[in-house]
Structure 1
């Protein structure tokens, strides 16, 4: 081969090498995608993933397989995704907890929530309400605060577990109103609601979907919502701000993530697919029945929410001296 032909061949090989990664990215996806849920089957995150997986598979043209990797308050599943190959074939659907709360509770977290992942999209928001047993005399936040100040340490609030968003909302309520209440943690929302109905605890911050039947039956009374604005399903229920506790907005959310260093083109493709299916009427209806509001939008909005909640809950954790071992 003469020098001219050699140089031409070398140039062609170099161009092919440069084009190969771009072609591979343009062909995404080309194989099944694993959608990791860091919780046990049946929870909100699991139901969300299964609601979206079929339509996501149809839009992307490849199977989307759900894998539940529960444990350690969502850390095990999140860690698995963080350590996965950043090629867009391993996704995480996470709630606020593993990404914005646990980082403030654990100094030994095996991943940096801000650096180990790339946000894809905020999928939905979960609305929380403050409820009391219907047999209790309180009908407003003001009356609860007055009762708590009249008998410090005698009232209590339940949560589905220590270090959960619901627990921290209770602690935030105490800090904002300067009242003294006892925190009673349970292993999940269901047993907490059971004791709330029995009057064993005074109040609870809880997702709307967890108490909708009891509220409709007149067994529980909704005092306020932690949302920034009133809920369409409960137009007569004031926000915490309207009830006299400003800067309390703190709805939980669910978002989709991929490992850090995943190609930007892959993130854009996934974001477009999610946004498309989140407009599907069946998806909207299904999520609304779970007490969720569809979010959607660009990837940056999820990271903005995550960083804001990280800061908010870290401040509450420090001020209330919350520890995972409680």
Structure 2
């Protein structure tokens, strides 16, 4: 649109949004409202990538413009806190992951209640996790031999976690409980640094998000031993599940989802949920998610709410049994 045809109300919206720090290109278009989707992590990770893949389609279904804001820090707590403090008007939403439900068990001073201060709207994608080790450093040929070695001499092995409260940290803690072994678990500031140390041999093993390690598995730098899904993962057909290996409780998956602040009206929850479900049925979206090793989650908002309660309770039990305390 040429500058001379802008209406005064559009200019006022742009000025107001600019004062809030929103990019000018994303401001009100044709009277659309502008909503913020806060991703509490730095750009580039699976959470951020899936948010960007889905947000424009969800916004289109709602007749809105969505602006993604990366508010990283404190393992996701900074961005989540901003949403928790916002008005329940549907214009400030959180796109985060399963770590949101673990924070209070691993981190001091979390400034919100992950259940009471948020309204679950929709989970979006499942993220399979795989037990991997550096191909040049782990000599065991398969998962059975590896787990036997870990049990026999746990001091030889250390585990990486992408962050405090990550699936990597909880999975390693749970495995230690199953094996009756104690080993070092190192929490990193993201999957990237953890994977770098894994390849170099600075750390031995990791329950890692598949999207972060698949290229390195294909390139031969990492070896995949097992997955923590309920079924084998199509991208890693040779890797058995931990269930197959005799550990039925070792089912851990990453996932992402959308929350609103506490008190978000039911009609707004339903609108965002339905637009999200529509986006997750889009063939192109499904194909692009598959390339990341992710699959869509199609469930109700009620199912999401029940899962958050169940998963937080399990996380607390694992952390307590493993002696994990808030840092």
Q: TM-score range by the shorter chain?
A: 0.7 to 0.9
Indicate conservation of the 8 Å contact 2:225/2:240, yes or no. Answer: yes
Structure 1 residue 292: Cα displacement: 1.3
Indicate conservation of the 8 Å contact 2:40/2:73, yes or no. Answer: yes
TM-score, L = length of structure 2:
0.85
2:221 to 215, 219, 222: 219
1:287 and 2:289 equivalent?
A: yes
Indicate conservation of the 8 Å contact 1:274/1:296, yes or no. Answer: no
Matching residue of 1:172: 174
Q: Secondary structure at the match of 2:284?
A: helix
Structure 1 residue 38: Cα displacement: 1.0
User: Gapped runs of 5+ residues in structure 1?
Assistant: 1-28
Q: Secondary structure at the match of 2:295?
A: strand
State the Cα RMSD in Å.
1.8
Matching residue of 1:246: 248
Moved more, 296-305 or 134-143: 134-143
Indicate conservation of the 8 Å contact 2:158/2:183, yes or no. Answer: yes
Indicate conservation of the 8 Å contact 1:177/1:245, yes or no. Answer: no
Indicate conservation of the 8 Å contact 1:128/1:227, yes or no. Answer: yes
Distance 1:236 1:101 in 2: 31
Matching residue of 1:109: 110
Alignment CA distance shift 1:118-1:185 (3 Å): closer
Q: Secondary structure at the match of 2:306?
A: helix
Distance 2:170 2:307 in 1: 17
Distance 1:81 1:215 in 2: 37
Structure 1 residue 48: Cα displacement: 1.6
Indicate conservation of the 8 Å contact 2:104/2:326, yes or no. Answer: no
2:160 to 154, 158, 161: 158
Distance 2:121 2:168 in 1: 25
Q: Secondary structure at the match of 1:201?
A: coil
Matching residue of 1:125: 126
- Show the 5 A alignment for 1:191-206: 191-206=193-208
Distance 1:184 1:115 in 2: 30
1:42 and 2:34 equivalent?
A: no
Distance 2:130 2:92 in 1: 34
Q: Secondary structure at the match of 1:157?
A: strand
Structure 1 residue 49: Cα displacement: 1.8
Indicate conservation of the 8 Å contact 1:104/1:310, yes or no. Answer: no
Distance 1:177 1:164 in 2: 20
Q: Secondary structure at the match of 1:35?
A: strand
Distance 1:75 1:161 in 2: 12
Structure 1 residue 148: Cα displacement: 2.5
Indicate conservation of the 8 Å contact 2:217/2:224, yes or no. Answer: yes
Structure 1 residue 94: Cα displacement: 1.0
1:149 to 136, 140, 151: 151
Structure 1 residue 106: Cα displacement: 4.1
Residue deviations 1:175-230, cap 9 Å, x none? 11112322233332222222222223221110111111111122222111001111
- Show the 5 A alignment for 1:1-326: 31-98=33-100, 100-106=101-107, 108-135=109-136, 136-325=138-327
Indicate conservation of the 8 Å contact 2:95/2:259, yes or no. Answer: yes
User: Gapped runs of 5+ residues in structure 2?
Assistant: 1-30
Distance 2:324 2:140 in 1: 27
Q: Secondary structure at the match of 1:195?
A: helix
Indicate conservation of the 8 Å contact 2:127/2:253, yes or no. Answer: yes
**Alignment coverage as a number of residue pairs:** 296
Structure 1 residue 323: Cα displacement: 3.0
TM-score, L = length of structure 1:
0.85
